[in-house]
Chain A
Amino acid sequence: MPNSKSAYSFSNKKEKFDTHIIVVWVDNEAGVLARVVGLFSGRGYNIESLAVAQVDEKLKISRITIVTTGTPQVVNQIKLQLRKLVPVHKVADFKREDKAVIFKEMALFKIVGPNNKLEGALKACKKYNPILLDKTKKSNVIQITALRREIDKMSKDLKKFGLVSVSRTGAVAMTRGADIFK
């Protein structure tokens, strides 16, 4: 909004957007995901991907991993706003470039075609821990785990081998080494 003349506060500064992975530990109760996601949509924050599942059966704790983009100020707001939600226990924030953290996504690829193509597809996935989950004469279902951009790339590259369907998860994250996030 160049040279805005509004009494509402517009900023003319163009700030860099960073990609962050936000990990939120929450009570696994009804509506908790809606609270977290509603906070993002209500305040205009981005969600690039989302992964959620219960990680502690006894304490009923779920771990939500959200990939988001924003200026440093926005990312800071996201964390602070999340911490205000009653069912939220703790919030961790990692930059995508952070070497001390492992990020992984999983994808399932369905390839349909002649044998040589099926093999070609499996070979192309070699770098990303491919697992053949299903095999017929005409088709393969391959599972890989990789980074987002690697899966993006594979989704393109596998087209020539007869890729007909892609299903993928959001990113999950974990710190390297013996330390855990407190």
Chain B
Amino acid sequence: MSKLYSGAEIVFKCMEDQNVDHIFGYPGGAVLPIYDELQNFKSIKHVLVRHEQGAGHAAEGYARSSGKPGVILVTSGPGATNVVTALTDAYMDSIPLVCISGQVPTHLIGTDAFQECDTTGITRPCTKHNWLVKDINDLANTIHKAFEVATTGRPGPVLVDIPKDIQFQKTKYNRPKKEKKLNGRSHNHFNQNSIDELIELMSKSSKPIFYTGGGVINSGPRASELLRELVYATGFPITSTLQGLGSFPGDDNQFLGMLGMHGTYEANNAMHDCDLMINIGARFDDRITGKIDEFSPNSKKVHIDIDPSSINKNVKVDLAIVGDVKTVLSSTLKSLKQKKSKFLKSNKQKTSKWWEKIQKWRSVRSLDYIGSEETIKPQYAIERLYELTKDKDSYITTEVGQHQMWAAQHYKFNKPNRWMTSGGLGTMGYGLPAAVGVQVAHPKKLVIDIAGEASVLMTIQEMSTAVQYNLPIKIFILNNQYMGMVRQWQELLHDKNYSESYTAALPDFVKLAEAYNCVGIRAKTPEELDDKIIEMLNTDRPVIFDCMVDKVENCFPMIPSGKPHNQMILGPKDQESKKITGKGKSLV
């Protein structure tokens, strides 16, 4: 007879077989049997967070930087509800997470027992799938299935809810089934005809553009290599969404910078004027398209995506290729080499006018700002941070707001999986715990959370986690004492009525750092900024860096509300002429 294992043991047996080495969690009544077993599974290291939301974001940071699923362990009731924001965040940004939650014993379910909540009910809309395990014999298969669902197709979060009595019961353990070839369900639903059609469109186009997104990153490092190959082979310009940054080198001449609401002038104008748009792993999000009726009116649109429901959801496309980016790109490159081996040469002539136009847009230098010798401009702070860290293979996370956009604009990424930011949900408080997760996955690397002082306070308690595990994360706060993006919109859209966007009582971040037993550094002037950043980089402990920046700087360029791509506000000088009026105010 084979050995019997308790439900709690099975949880860890499954994790071992799924090659889990770190889990992020917080104990509580309904998961105590699982925590009791933790010590018997030496290959699995538990990271104790300070709040379950932190566990979720840390797991996201871990997953995005490593390409492996992030694993969370929380208790029932408040443990589960606290992790909901992180699950929703991961769902929006397609991050693979497996969340194990405790539940009250099965005989108490539905009785409003202590720390009971309808966890599967609450998390149903924010997970790819979830399970309530009511039979010990289903447990192992369910957990294996959970890992499969989280990591295949378009990745996303899943949750397995395990009642406490199930954790005590015993049964045989089932190893994961040997992967049947693609399980009968392939994620590639395209054929050679579509690839041929794509190449035909490419060879006909005189104003092409690649528009790439997080799907390239999710498809693995090989997808980024293939993307580079394709972009160089075609000579086409390329722009990227917020989530796609890093899949193509940010300092390459063919890269037009990020597009969208705070994207560059050249990227957005090229999107508007192009005759062929090749969307690779992006989803025509509303922050990208601007006014949808006037979105890139004269282009043929190609959409490469693994998720069939992303096709024609927001924007109708002319050619849809449903498949994994890596596979589609490799087929495209193969065909391109066979059929049009001299593509680059023959195309140079054809796209030369297009490139001239792009250079003209580029010469506007839309990311420029007015410098200062007295106060630190936030853009300057990011620029200096980039210059001083660019040869270090650093990992950057962010919170949400102006600082996030400035980081996306001014920090140049050359590799995938180096940039972790909450795009879809826009979760303030994401960056600090995400940095914890990234540092856990990459203990020797430089991990920086570019933060705002308002966002970072939402999950500041995770500094304590960083200190406990000697994770030398660097929290680089652009402190303007305002919720900057809220303030900016109030200035531009609500007649400068700065309702509740100023934080009148902020902690002293240097003292706060000391209270957490990490290092606090403050920079007040542009003159001292470099030295302070170097001091931060030379500190082998967690650091909170309080960078006091200009309080009223706005983030430009910006597509104002209700405007298409080609009507951007460029900066303080341009602002007056394109005021946002009327109904737009209430609709942003």
Interface residues of A (CB under 8 A from B): 3-13, 30-31, 34-35, 38, 42, 73, 76-77, 80-81, 83-86
| B 290-334 binary contact with A (CB < 8 Å = 1; else 0) | 111100000000000001110111101000000000000000000
How far does the alpha carbon of A6 sit from the alpha carbon of B560 in the complex, in Å?
8
**Residues B132 and A8 in contact, CB atoms below 8 Å apart:** no
**Residues A7 and B562 in contact, CB atoms below 8 Å apart:** yes
Interface residues of B (CB under 8 A from A): 120-121, 124-125, 128-129, 132, 134, 149, 261, 286-287, 289-293, 307-309, 311-314, 316, 559-563, 580-584, 587-588
**Residues A73 and B293 in contact, CB atoms below 8 Å apart:** no
**Residues B309 and A5 in contact, CB atoms below 8 Å apart:** no
**Residues A6 and B561 in contact, CB atoms below 8 Å apart:** yes
How far does the alpha carbon of A77 sit from the alpha carbon of B307 in the complex, in Å?
12
Check A9/B584 contact, CB under 8 A, given A38-B125, A77-B313.
no
Query: Which 9 pairs from chain A and chain B are nearest by CB?
Result: A5-B584, A5-B562, A6-B587, A9-B292, A80-B309, A86-B129, A7-B561, A9-B286, A42-B125
Name the residue of chain A whose CB is nearest to the CB of B561: A7
How far does the alpha carbon of A76 sit from the alpha carbon of B128 in the complex, in Å?
20
**Residues B293 and A8 in contact, CB atoms below 8 Å apart:** no
How far does the alpha carbon of A3 sit from the alpha carbon of B291 in the complex, in Å?
11
How far does the alpha carbon of A84 sit from the alpha carbon of B580 in the complex, in Å?
40
Please give the distance in Å from B120's CB to the nearest CB on chain A. Answer: 6
Check A34/B121 contact, CB under 8 A, given A7-B286, A80-B309.
yes
Residues from chain B with a CB closer than 8 A to the CB of A42 are 125
**Residues A35 and B124 in contact, CB atoms below 8 Å apart:** yes
Residues from chain B with a CB closer than 8 A to the CB of A7 are 261, 286-287, 290-291, 559-563, 587-588
**Residues B588 and A6 in contact, CB atoms below 8 Å apart:** yes
Please give the distance in Å from A108's CB to the nearest CB on chain B. Answer: 32
Residues from chain A with a CB closer than 8 A to the CB of B563 are 7
Name the residue of chain A whose CB is nearest to the CB of B291: A9
Please give the distance in Å from A81's CB to the nearest CB on chain B. Answer: 5
How far does the alpha carbon of A42 sit from the alpha carbon of B123 in the complex, in Å?
13
**Residues A31 and B286 in contact, CB atoms below 8 Å apart:** no
**Residues A5 and B582 in contact, CB atoms below 8 Å apart:** yes
Check A73/B312 contact, CB under 8 A, given A7-B588, A8-B286, A86-B149.
yes
Residues from chain A with a CB closer than 8 A to the CB of B587 are 4-8, 10
CB<8 Å pairs between A and B, sample of 30: A3-B583, A5-B581, A5-B582, A5-B587, A6-B561, A7-B286, A7-B287, A7-B560, A7-B561, A9-B286, A9-B291, A9-B292, A10-B587, A13-B293, A30-B132, A30-B134, A31-B120, A31-B121, A31-B124, A34-B121, A34-B124, A38-B124, A42-B125, A73-B312, A73-B313, A76-B312, A83-B308, A84-B128, A84-B307, A86-B149
Q: Which of B120, B134, B261 has the most CB of A within 10 A?
A: B120
How far does the alpha carbon of A30 sit from the alpha carbon of B110 in the complex, in Å?
14
How far does the alpha carbon of A11 sit from the alpha carbon of B286 in the complex, in Å?
12
Residues from chain B with a CB closer than 8 A to the CB of A38 are 124-125
Name the residue of chain B whose CB is nearest to the CB of A13: B293
**Residues B309 and A77 in contact, CB atoms below 8 Å apart:** yes
Name the residue of chain A whose CB is nearest to the CB of B560: A7
Set B290, B292, B588: member contacting A11, Cβ < 8 A? B292
Q: Which of A4, A11, A13 has the most CB of B within 10 A?
A: A4
How far does the alpha carbon of A76 sit from the alpha carbon of B316 in the complex, in Å?
12
How far does the alpha carbon of A164 sit from the alpha carbon of B559 in the complex, in Å?
60
How far does the alpha carbon of A53 sit from the alpha carbon of B584 in the complex, in Å?
47
Please give the distance in Å from B566's CB to the nearest CB on chain A. Answer: 15
Residues from chain B with a CB closer than 8 A to the CB of A84 are 128, 307, 309
How far does the alpha carbon of A42 sit from the alpha carbon of B433 in the complex, in Å?
29
List 9 extra interface pairs beyond A5-B581, A7-B560, A30-B132, CB under 8 A. A4-B583, A6-B587, A7-B587, A31-B121, A73-B316, A77-B313, A80-B309, A81-B309, A86-B128
Please give the distance in Å from A131's CB to the nearest CB on chain B. Answer: 39
How far does the alpha carbon of A12 sit from the alpha carbon of B583 in the complex, in Å?
15
Residues from chain B with a CB closer than 8 A to the CB of A13 are 293
Please give the distance in Å from A71's CB to the nearest CB on chain B. Answer: 11
Residues from chain A with a CB closer than 8 A to the CB of B581 are 5
**Residues B561 and A5 in contact, CB atoms below 8 Å apart:** yes
Set B120, B308, B309, B562: member contacting A6, Cβ < 8 A? B562
How far does the alpha carbon of A6 sit from the alpha carbon of B120 in the complex, in Å?
35
How far does the alpha carbon of A70 sit from the alpha carbon of B134 in the complex, in Å?
38
Residues from chain A with a CB closer than 8 A to the CB of B582 are 5
Check A8/B588 contact, CB under 8 A, given A31-B120, A86-B129, A86-B149.
yes
How far does the alpha carbon of A6 sit from the alpha carbon of B292 in the complex, in Å?
10
Name the residue of chain A whose CB is nearest to the CB of B148: A86
Please give the distance in Å from A12's CB to the nearest CB on chain B. Answer: 6
How far does the alpha carbon of A6 sit from the alpha carbon of B291 in the complex, in Å?
7
Residues from chain B with a CB closer than 8 A to the CB of A10 are 292, 587
How far does the alpha carbon of A140 sit from the alpha carbon of B312 in the complex, in Å?
52
Name the residue of chain A whose CB is nearest to the CB of B134: A30
**Residues B289 and A9 in contact, CB atoms below 8 Å apart:** yes
How far does the alpha carbon of A3 sit from the alpha carbon of B287 in the complex, in Å?
19
Residues from chain A with a CB closer than 8 A to the CB of B134 are 30
Please give the distance in Å from A83's CB to the nearest CB on chain B. Answer: 7
Residues from chain A with a CB closer than 8 A to the CB of B314 are 9
How far does the alpha carbon of A73 sit from the alpha carbon of B562 in the complex, in Å?
23
Please give the distance in Å from A20's CB to the nearest CB on chain B. Answer: 16
Q: Which of A12, A42, A81, A86 has the most CB of B within 10 A?
A: A86
Residues from chain A with a CB closer than 8 A to the CB of B307 are 84
